[in-house]
Structure 1
Amino acid sequence: MSADPVPPSAAEKSVPLRLTMDDSDSPSDVVDALFLGRFANGDQPYARSRSVDRVKSGHTLLPPGSTVLRSARDDDRSATLAEGEGFTVLVSRWNRGADVTVTAVSDHLAEKVLGQAADGAEDEPEPQPENVPMGFWYFSPRRGPHRTSRQISAGTWEEIRGNYTAPVAGALDTLMKVVPEEIAGRLLLLHGPPGTGKTSALRTLARSWRDWCQVDCVLDPERLFNDVGYLMDIAIGEDDSTGKGRWRLLLLEDCDELIRGEAKHTAGQALSRLLNLTDGLLGQGRNVLVGVTTNEDLERMHPAVVRPGRCLARIEVGPLTHTEAVGWLGTEEGIGREGASLAELYALRRGSRPASVPPQDAGRDAGLYL
């Protein structure tokens, strides 16, 4: 049972409202401040909000019967303040996303108006067989931890298997077929030189696992493990609303500093929190896997990261051998004796070659990246 709102007079005494503005504040900041007034003084003590990642073209997010009071547009966002009978609504928009917040004289009215404003506003593209839904987490100074989602294209494993040298392809064969009942470790580690296809493999893994696993990419992993609040929001802040017990795979790309041997000294508590998420108390009871890509050699990684039982998979993704690279490209031209990475092969196929210092002549390992 929820408690009744505090009477306006008592609320004003306990939480006095005082706003200070200077020349660093924008018109949108003023709109945000004006919106708080009726909620703060108790005239409209109920507030409800919703985020919309992709707003349909032409959708204003304003409920029927509302009148615009203020409208401001800055470089990266716009803010619209409107009111209606017994409610006030604030619409904050940036790119294609938006936040809608409603205050009202009753809880029922707040929910009703929010539904009128935001229901049906999400633009959902037609699903394509080659597309996979993937979430992207980042910390916004204005909104805190935030997740947005998009459809990414990913080939099937059969289509891209030839992009990997034989031992790697064999290891990935097994990984692509993993089901929840077979999960023994919570850490998935792909390491090796740049341009060898680690990210491409993870996109295809998301497609192979999409029936039972939601894949989210963390865009700022260095902040994630140094901000406990951010970590909690991502790792255990969301429950599975479908009731299907879906797993989640958090992807952290290029985390060399986090998992190398001296990480305990350079990264502080970040490494400990990563390990705690994979098999410590933080990860208990949560269907969470962590996928890490790094350019580090196995010998330079922290022993705690690669200890037996922690990793679901630990795969070194290297370049194709000379024979494999020639088979992939269909010619020996531009391929060195040591073979070539996937990125180098695509560059050769396009007819371009990477810049090098000093310039390499076509007769000696031409086309190799530095």
Structure 2
Amino acid sequence: MGGMSAPRLHDVLPIRLGLDDNDSPSDVIDALFLGRFATGDQPYSHTTTIDRAKRDASLLPPGATVVRAARGDDRSALLAEGEGFTVLVSRWNAGADVTVTATSAELAERMLKLAVEDANDEPEDVPEQVKMGFWYHVPGRGPRRTTRQIAAASWQDVRSNYTAPVVDAMDGLMKLTPDDVAGRLLLLHGPPGTGKTSALRTLARAWRDWCQVDCVLDPERLFNDVGYLMHLAIGDEDGADDDDDDAGGAGEQKKERWRLLLLEDCDELIRGEAKDATGQALSRLLNLTDGLLGQGRNVLVGVTTNEDLERLHPAVVRPGRALARIEVGPLTRAESVAWLGTDQGVGDEGSTLAELYALRRGTTPPGIPNSRRSAPGLYL
């Protein structure tokens, strides 16, 4: 009826909530936010995630009035409303989720755009660092991606950390361009402590002009969750290049950046018995590299493993599948002595990079004989 005011926000929720000690103020805010969407008063919703939000950004559009706010140790929630719309802001670590419900799709889209305008906190580029993404699955919330600036030395600075065959192979990779890509799987295998992860960080720095590097923190979940895999493989592309003002005219499509997805220590996924042990996980990994799932997507997959090459599944190492297959082994004795500047503590078989750093610091991994020091679990 004309003249009657809209019901208050906490009066429109069409269910009763039973609260106990396990519920938090943030849980109440989440429930209240659904009120007008559930009743149909505001049937349109738009949402976005910001990996790194400025601390001083309100994440609210003009005209929004805060009606609930809650703050915890690792999460805060804000509920606000305006003429025809409601906003929920959830902050976690450096990131934030912003969702708007509204009386029309246009209003929801416009209010969300205003809420997150200039809210991204983009750190200044540092030559010694590279932006790397990290994917992980959150129960009840689905796939998440956050970014961090990661220290990454130049290849020239770290070439001496690797034995000659590795240097020869990595020299070519460091100079790779998108036009040179042949094969989608990058496989680094070898003992722990030989510098596989450090090499990948350096590679991310060398490729940063054309390739975004993302590390998947839960690869076992990724390849056993079709929804997670589809979201990561063919979802909205992050970091697509903007149109170059000096190249091409109106209507030219944006150039899609390549992505390198890093899967570390995936021994169970790619060893010889992987098909029996992991079910469809291995097949989905291979499908992402050169099957239907990977078609039309500029995606490379980088895998590190401690397994010997002969123990890997034949499908993983078959010719033509790999962009590069590099065995990252210890430095020879001569290379180790040259690196360390002394032969003190260097075994007849040489040393891994982790062992050399331990020797330089004057420490020795406990329980390991002098002739073959190794540092299980130490990944550089």
| TM-score, structure 2 as length reference | 0.87
| 1:339 aligned onto 2:340 | no
Q: CA deviation at 1:369?
A: 3.6
Q: CA deviation at 1:82?
A: 1.3
Distance 1:138 1:45, change over 3 A: same
Distance 1:143 1:177, change over 3 A: same
Q: Is the 8 A contact 1:336 1:368 kept in 2?
A: no
Q: CA deviation at 1:198?
A: 0.3
Correspondence for 2:86: 88
Q: Is the 8 A contact 2:136 2:143 kept in 1?
A: yes
**Separation in structure 2 between the aligned mates of residue 82 and residue 251 of structure 1, nearest angstrom:** 39
Correspondence for 1:268: 279
Correspondence for 1:219: 217
Q: CA deviation at 1:155?
A: 1.2
Correspondence for 1:246: 257
**Separation in structure 2 between the aligned mates of residue 62 and residue 254 of structure 1, nearest angstrom:** 42
Distance 1:72 1:245, change over 3 A: closer
Q: Is the 8 A contact 1:356 1:369 kept in 2?
A: no
1:340-366 CA deviation, whole Å, 9 max, x = no partner?
111111122223222226xx5xxx448
- Equivalent residues, number: 350
Q: Is the 8 A contact 2:70 2:78 kept in 1?
A: yes
Supply the RMSD in Å over aligned alpha carbons.
1.9
State which of 195, 198, 214 in structure 1 corresponds to 2:196.
198
Q: CA deviation at 1:19?
A: 5.8
State which of 310, 319, 323 in structure 2 corresponds to 1:308.
319
Q: Is the 8 A contact 1:187 1:290 kept in 2?
A: yes
**Separation in structure 2 between the aligned mates of residue 133 and residue 123 of structure 1, nearest angstrom:** 13
Correspondence for 1:67: 65
Q: Which amino acid aligns with 2:51?
A: D
Q: CA deviation at 1:42?
A: 1.9
**Separation in structure 2 between the aligned mates of residue 223 and residue 19 of structure 1, nearest angstrom:** 35
**Separation in structure 1 between the aligned mates of residue 320 and residue 199 of structure 2, nearest angstrom:** 22
Correspondence for 2:25: 27
State which of 206, 209, 213 in structure 2 corresponds to 1:208.
206
State which of 121, 145, 148 in structure 2 corresponds to 1:147.
145
SS of the residue corresponding to residue 79 of structure 1 reads strand
Q: Is the 8 A contact 2:257 2:298 kept in 1?
A: yes
Q: CA deviation at 1:75?
A: 4.2
Q: Which amino acid aligns with 2:91?
A: R
1:249-304 CA deviation, whole Å, 9 max, x = no partner?
11100000000001111011101111111111111121111110000001111111
| 1:295 aligned onto 2:306 | yes
Q: Is the 8 A contact 1:348 1:367 kept in 2?
A: no
Distance 1:367 1:259, change over 3 A: closer
Note the residue ranges of structure 2 that are not aligned, 5 or more in a row.
1-12, 242-253
1:99-150 CA deviation, whole Å, 9 max, x = no partner?
1111222333323322332111221111111221211111111320111112
Q: CA deviation at 1:96?
A: 1.6
Per mean C-alpha deviation after superposition, the further-off stretch among 238-247 and 321-330 is 238-247
Q: Is the 8 A contact 2:193 2:374 kept in 1?
A: no
Note the residue ranges of structure 1 that are not aligned, 5 or more in a row.
1-15
Q: Which amino acid aligns with 1:339?
A: G
State which of 169, 172, 182 in structure 2 corresponds to 1:171.
169
**Separation in structure 1 between the aligned mates of residue 110 and residue 321 of structure 2, nearest angstrom:** 48
**Separation in structure 2 between the aligned mates of residue 337 and residue 323 of structure 1, nearest angstrom:** 9
Q: CA deviation at 1:72?
A: 2.2
Q: CA deviation at 1:90?
A: 0.8
SS of the residue corresponding to residue 121 of structure 1 reads coil
Q: Is the 8 A contact 2:154 2:205 kept in 1?
A: yes
Distance 1:86 1:128, change over 3 A: same
Correspondence for 2:48: 50
